[in-house]
Structure 1
Amino acid sequence: MDQAHIASLASTLPDALSPWSMFMQADIVVKAVMIGLALSSVATWTVLVVKAIQLRSALRTARRALGAATVARSLLDATGGVSADGGVVGRLLAVAEDEIDKSRGLPADGIKERVSWQFERIEAAAVARIGRGIGILATVGAVGPFVGLFGTVWGIMNSFIGISHAHTTNLAVVAPGIAEALLATAFGLAAAIPAVVIYNLFARATSGYRAVIADASVAVMRLLSRDLDRQHAGPAEARRSAIRAVDAPLMSIVNPAE
């Protein structure tokens, strides 16, 4: 390659290294890698917006319902204090009332055990529902850098092939191909770093939501236990009153002085 051609390439080096020019001049495989990583980044930010709105709404509803269940004196009071869209806490209350209605006359311990089983499934389903879609962030964060590295390796291989064909290692010939290849790594890091950060944020927020649901489950179980104790204490108190009413005349006969 003559010196004039090398000088011409060197004079056009800054323009050749602009991101758009590097993308347009890259190999088809490298382009596919960068497009895939760009789409992954768009998916990451979409998940951020959608899940942030969903999680914020679910947390607000659960905390409001938890407050109503905490100050209530019975399941009926809690149901009245929780709106129709009480979310998970509303379902917990509905399950507890339904089990009491179906298990009238049965031992209280069995009712509590059956309600506890259902509460566990409701909590698990609620956490799984709120966490749906977050796995995309973990996938992008874990795979993105490696996909970008694959594009870089492929691009550098093509650059070395071009160098061998040009029979020169001048910077004007080597730099554009290597820069195009490294652009794929930059795309991979740009997609992966926000995905990892957002995933960690949502993981902590989901743990907080799980804690709120667990607190609500405990609050509803406390109301259920209180209502069952009232139901069983009522007949027992009535029997004690009846026994006292029968024993009173007999005691007056045995102890007339009193």
Structure 2
Amino acid sequence: MDDSISILSLIIEADLVVQSVMGVLAVMSIYSWTIILSKKKILIDTKDDIKKFLKHFSTNKTPDELKSQLPYSGAMVGIFTAGYGEFTRSTTSKNQANSERAYRLMNTTANDEIDRLDSGLSVLAMIASSSPYIGLFGTVWGIMHSFIGLASVKQASIAVVAPGIAEALIATAFGLFAAIPATIAYNRLISQVGEIDNQYSAFIEKMFVVFQRQK
């Protein structure tokens, strides 16, 4: 392919508005990948935290035994500690009321953790949904600009029209390049957050049973 009509040359020679659209989409793509990679690491660490904690957890143990065997700090330990602290707050008795307060506090702590895991995903969803439209705007503007330029040409041909249309279509390609990974990653990450939420809920229900068994 001739260098004069390469993709790079089309980007460089594109209309200022089209170039601006491409620049915005490039920034959005980089930002989405930053969110994807950082969030992926956080979710991997969270899953490891759950696995490590559950190795030491058993419904046959008392809360005091579980407390004494906590091997490390983490989200699961934070949820357990919140419930255990509320359950043992009253030194006179460990009754149903204590269990229910501990249950509610553990749920609140787990919800805070899920909110932390969810943070940033809304931005990823925004990038996934808006990028194609931004790219389409750049394409429409570029094609419109190209056809306006034809008014000053006495004889139109494919050689005259093609470069302008090609540079306009690059904007759509930029939009798809930003949107497709963001869409796939958002659906995958939100699914993983949901799985973690279910594991937290299951653990809290088990701890509620453990608390209720105590006299």
Corresponding residue number in structure 2 for 1:10: none
Aligned match for 2:6, one of 1, 8, 18:
18
8 Å Cα contact 1:159-1:174 kept in structure 2: yes
8 Å Cα contact 1:152-1:181 kept in structure 2: yes
Query: Counterpart of 1:45 in structure 2: which amino acid?
Result: W
Query: Counterpart of 1:153 in structure 2: which amino acid?
Result: V
Query: How far, CA to CA, are the matches of 1:124 and 1:209 in structure 2?
Result: 11
- Structure with bigger helix share is 1
Aligned match for 1:205, one of 181, 186, 192:
192
Query: Counterpart of 2:106 in structure 1: which amino acid?
Result: F
| Matched positions, count | 215
Query: How far, CA to CA, are the matches of 2:145 and 2:2 in structure 1?
Result: 21
8 Å Cα contact 1:92-1:220 kept in structure 2: no
Query: How far, CA to CA, are the matches of 1:17 and 1:219 in structure 2?
Result: 66
Query: How far, CA to CA, are the matches of 1:16 and 1:146 in structure 2?
Result: 29
Query: How far, CA to CA, are the matches of 1:167 and 1:80 in structure 2?
Result: 87
Pairing 1:30–2:34 present:
no
8 Å Cα contact 1:155-1:180 kept in structure 2: yes
8 Å Cα contact 1:69-1:219 kept in structure 2: no
Query: Counterpart of 1:162 in structure 2: which amino acid?
Result: G
Report how far residue 165 of structure 1 moved: 1.2
Moved more, 184-193 or 211-220: 211-220
Report how far residue 114 of structure 1 moved: 1.2
Unaligned runs of 5+ in 2: none
Query: How far, CA to CA, are the matches of 2:94 and 2:38 in structure 1?
Result: 45
Query: How far, CA to CA, are the matches of 1:169 and 1:66 in structure 2?
Result: 72
1:178-234 Cα distance to aligned partner (Å, 9 max, x none)? 1111100010011101110111110111111111111221222222222x33xxxxx
Corresponding residue number in structure 1 for 2:79: 92
Report how far residue 17 of structure 1 moved: 2.8
8 Å Cα contact 1:156-1:178 kept in structure 2: yes
Query: How far, CA to CA, are the matches of 2:88 and 2:69 in structure 1?
Result: 20
Aligned match for 2:161, one of 171, 174, 178:
174
RMSD, aligned CA: 1.7
Pairing 1:51–2:39 present:
yes
SS of aligned partner of 2:58: helix
Q: Greater CA radius of gyration, 1 or 2?
A: 1
Report how far residue 67 of structure 1 moved: 3.1
1:50-70 Cα distance to aligned partner (Å, 9 max, x none)? 111111011111222123222
Query: Counterpart of 2:115 in structure 1: which amino acid?
Result: A
Pairing 1:165–2:121 present:
no
Query: Counterpart of 1:168 in structure 2: which amino acid?
Result: Q
Report how far residue 119 of structure 1 moved: 1.7
8 Å Cα contact 2:59-2:207 kept in structure 1: no
Unaligned runs of 5+ in 1: 1-12, 230-258
Aligned match for 1:39, one of 27, 37, 44:
27
Q: Quickly say closer, same or farther: Cα 1:29–1:72, change in 2 above 3 A.
A: farther
8 Å Cα contact 1:141-1:193 kept in structure 2: yes
Q: Quickly say closer, same or farther: Cα 1:123–1:75, change in 2 above 3 A.
A: same
Report how far residue 84 of structure 1 moved: 3.0
Query: How far, CA to CA, are the matches of 2:72 and 2:13 in structure 1?
Result: 59
Report matched runs for 1:186-197 at 5 Å: 186-197=173-184
Corresponding residue number in structure 1 for 2:130: 143
Task: Give identity over the alignment, percent.
Answer: 31
8 Å Cα contact 1:95-1:118 kept in structure 2: yes
Query: Counterpart of 1:42 in structure 2: which amino acid?
Result: I
Taking structure 2 as the reference length, the TM-score comes to 0.93
